Structures are given as structure tokens and as C-alpha cells.
Structure 1
């Protein structure tokens, strides 16, 4: 009886162990009937990512990794097939990145979206959607580190070239010259110290001189106005002189004509004098005309004058 009890206990333990193993296997494999497959396309290494690795959407477990393989058309491309629970909000703006589980070195797929494309992701003819795989934070840091190291190397080479023996000698001379120049500047500052102390007195004298200059400037302004007035008068006198000169020139041009007019007037006066003399001697000439002149010698009707006895 005791052997049978031990055998029954052992058999019951074995059955419970099998059931537990089956339950754990089901839990580990998950129920794939209610999952949607998506294909992640990565051009960066996926170190630490294995099959059955979890898939999380903003930190929430939504599926697992089903398969990892290289692309048949491009060996630099890695294709990662994941299963995501149906009803998970996957849209056209959703992208994937690798995240790491603490310090274990294992990684998982982290899904996220920036909200720029809220439309639902369209599946291809095989019923699988393609999601962009972006470089992880550590990949970006690694790339930046490589660029930083390359730039640092170039900078070190340039520094070495800059700090060669010849440039170091020139730099030493420059530092010595700067030291000498700074000493001279200190000496110059010491020499200028009395002048700086005298500046307040000079400023006071300058203020007084400026105060005395104000009346002088006022007088100079008045004198300037008077000079302007006199210059205006001289301008008017000059204009009058120009007019007189023009008049004199016109008069000079008219003198020949005036001389001719005076001659004509003189001849006309002599003719008028003769006419008046004739009228005075023969007033009847105004009515009967001028009497004919007495015949002269040799003319008809000439009478010689009788000699006085």
C-alpha cells in the first residue's frame, strides 16, 4: 500500500509538471491567432535582438518578434517580422527602434509615432504592413562618436601642424613682444598720470573760455548779418553800374545819328530863315506869290541904272 501511494504521488507530480510546462510554453509562444504581422526594414545592425523578443508600443507589450533574416535582394537590409496584437493603433506615422533591457545586452522592438500621419497603415497584397526601422539612440550616438573621433583626429593634426617648431618659435617671439609692449604701455600710463590729474583744471578753463566765446559768437553773427546786408547793397550798386554802362554804350551808338539830326535841323533852320526874310520883304507873296526877280544884264527888260547927275 505504501509503494502504491508513493507511485501515485510521483505520477501526480509528473502530470502537474507537464501541465505547468505546457502552460509556460503557451504563455511564451503566445496566441498568434489574434495578431497582425508587420515587417520591419532595417539598414542598421540589430545587435541583441532575438526571436520572441518583446514588441512594445510606447512601453506597452503588444507583440513579439517572429523572425529575423536578411533581404534576398539586398544583403545590407535586415527584415524583421513581428506579430502585433490586433486593435493596436498602428498608423502610417508609426516607426520602430531598438531599445535595450537594462545591462543584459538584450534588445526589444519599441514602436512609436510622431502623430504626423494618423491614417491607418495600409497592408500589402500579402496582408503584411511595412514599418520604417530607424536607428536606435545608441546607433546615433555611435555614428556621432565616429564623426566626432574623425573630427577630433583632424583637429589634432591641425594643432600639431600649427604647433610645429617654427610656429612655436614665432609664438614665443610674439609673447615676448607682447610683454615688451605691455611694459611700454605701463610706462606710458605712468607718464600720462599727471596729465589725467590736470584734466579737471583744463576742463574748468575750457568751460570759462567757452563762456567767453558766447558773446564773441553773438557779435560775429551780427557782423555777419551786416556784411550780408552790405554785400547786397554792393550787388545792387554793381547792377546799377552795369545798367549805366549799358546806357552809355547805347548813347555812344546813337551819337552819329544825333549828329546827322543836328545837321538836318541846322539846314532846316537856315531855309526857314530865308523864307521868313522873303516874307518880311514881300508880305504880298503870301497872297499873290513871290514876285519874279528883276531881269539881269543881258536879259529881256533889263534896265540899266541911270547915272546920277
Structure 2
């Protein structure tokens, strides 16, 4: 009798729990049915993968409704029309924006409303004539589009890489690596000479630096001389040029003022030339006479023969 009593108690408990769950479900259904809903059409001009009937509708992250139906636009099948219902107490305004958001890691999507200012008119929607709200592209949609482009580019890159590593290119690459290895070995063998060359270059660089310092010092000295002594020389030259200019002006003025006298003087000098020739001839003759007198005075004066002296 005792095992049978236990089975009866378990059966009664099970029936009671089932009845309570059924009553709770009926209460939830009745509560949902009794709520007032506002209906809207959300228009998408891009794919809505991950969105399905019953998915939640959010407003700033809070669930305010769900997706009722999804259809394609008969005029443009690339556009999707999603019928949603939202609690009638939630104000959906003309400047309220709608978009898709990722619901979970499985890829399920939700519709989310954002924005809407109190001064914007409120949209009233019914099941028979729901207003249309065009959805804005979400960052996730942009990410998906970019991901597709990225996959296409990655596939193209892999194809180009495969072509780059063809048998012929691999052989060329092997030859290049072998040549590189030989060149490296040669450089290692010549490392002492390279070290000496680097040392010589360093010494040359130091010498060039010292030469540059000396040139800089010479340039500074020359600049100092030009600034100090050169200035006085230039001033003296300027003064001399001014004096020469003044003298030239005076000579020019005197030449202009005494042009007639200079012409007469030059003419007189031209007439003086024959007299100078006569004077030169006279002087020559006088010189001859003087020489004769000094040599033989008697003959020069009397014109006779000179007296001879006889020795005893």
C-alpha cells in the first residue's frame, strides 16, 4: 500500500504543476492580447540576414515590441518590408531612426529605434495602415559589406601569391637566395678590409670636419677684416674718387674757358720748331769752333799754320 500512495502523491504534484504552468501561459497570452499595439513598416534597402518573425524590437536597448511579418517589396524585390508592433505607449516620432543590431553571437538580429525629439510629430500606426520608416544602415551591415570585400580581396591576394610562388618563380627565388649567400660570404671574407675602409672613412670625416672648422674661422676673420678695415679703405677710395672727380671738373672747366689761348699756344709751338732747328745748328757750329780753338788756338784765330816747337 505504501508504494501506491507515493505514486498517487507524485501524480497529483505533476498534475498541479502542469495546471499552474498552463494557467501562467494563458495569463501571459491574455496579457499580451489585452495590450494595445502600434504597427509600423520598417523598410530595408539591404539584406536583413538574421532577422525573423518574433525577434525583439528595441528602443535604446529596451524591448518594446517584436517582429510580426517580413515581406519583399513588390515594386523592388531588393527592398524588404518588415512589419513590427510596438507598445502603443512608446512614442515613435518622425525623426526616430531604425536599424539592425546584433542580438547574440549566433547572428540573430533585432530592430532598434534611436533618436526622436519631443518637438517632432508622433507617428500613429495601425495594423491596417502602418507608416513606413526607412532603416538606416547599421555599423554591422557596413562591417558585413566590408567583410565580403575583404574576403574577395584576400582570395585575390592568395591567388596572386600562388602565382608568385610558381615553380619558375620559386627557382628564381632559390637562385637569388644562393647569390645572396655567396655575396654575404664574400663580404665576411673581406670584413678586415671593410673595417679598414670604414676606419679610413672615419679619419677622412674627422679631417673634413677639422677643415670645415678652419674654413669657418678663416671666413669669420675675413668677414671681420672686411667689416673693420675694409670699411675704412672703401671710405678712402670714395674720398679719392671724389677728389679726382673735382680735379677733372676743374680741368674741364679751365680747358673750356682757355680754349682760344691753348689753340694760339699750340700754333706758336708749331712756329717755334724751325727756330729751334736753327738754334740747334748754330749750337752745333759753335761747338765745333770751340773744339778747334781748344785744340789749336793759333790756327783757329789767324788761319795760318801752327808754330812747331823744336827740341834742342
User: Normalization by structure 1: what TM-score?
Assistant: 0.56
- What is the CA deviation profile of residues 216-267 of structure 1, one whole-angstrom value per residue up to 9, with x for unaligned ones? 87667654344324312431332133123312421343439999xxxxxxxx
- Which residue number in structure 2 is paired with residue 153 of structure 1? 155
- What is the CA deviation profile of residues 273-294 of structure 1, one whole-angstrom value per residue up to 9, with x for unaligned ones? xxxxxxxxxxxxxxxxxxxxxx
SS at match of 1:111: strand
Distance 2:240 2:226 in 1: 21
Q: 1:206 to 1:119 in 2, by over 3 A?
A: closer
Q: Structure 1: which 5+ runs fail to align?
A: 1-5, 260-309
230-239 or 203-212: which moved more? Answer: 203-212
User: Normalization by structure 2: what TM-score?
Assistant: 0.55
- Which residue number in structure 2 is paired with residue 111 of structure 1? 112
- Which residue number in structure 1 is paired with residue 84 of structure 2? 82
Distance 2:219 2:141 in 1: 80
- Which residue number in structure 2 is paired with residue 128 of structure 1? 130
Asked if 1:59 is matched to 2:65, the reply is no
Among 213, 223, 239, the alignment partner of 2:245 is 239
Work out whether residues 32 and 83 of structure 1, in 8 Å CA contact, stay in contact via their aligned partners in 2: no
Q: Give RMSD over aligned pairs.
A: 5.1
Distance 2:253 2:179 in 1: 84
SS at match of 1:150: helix
Work out whether residues 121 and 129 of structure 1, in 8 Å CA contact, stay in contact via their aligned partners in 2: no
Q: Structure 2: which 5+ runs fail to align?
A: 1-7, 266-312
Q: 1:54 to 1:194 in 2, by over 3 A?
A: closer
- What is the CA deviation profile of residues 82-102 of structure 1, one whole-angstrom value per residue up to 9, with x for unaligned ones? 111112132323313153355
Q: 1:181 to 1:219 in 2, by over 3 A?
A: farther
Q: 1:178 to 1:110 in 2, by over 3 A?
A: farther
- Which residue number in structure 1 is paired with residue 146 of structure 2? 144
- Which residue number in structure 2 is paired with residue 43 of structure 1? 45
SS at match of 1:66: strand
Distance 1:116 1:186 in 2: 80
The alignment of Structure 1 onto Structure 2 pairs a total of residues equal to 246
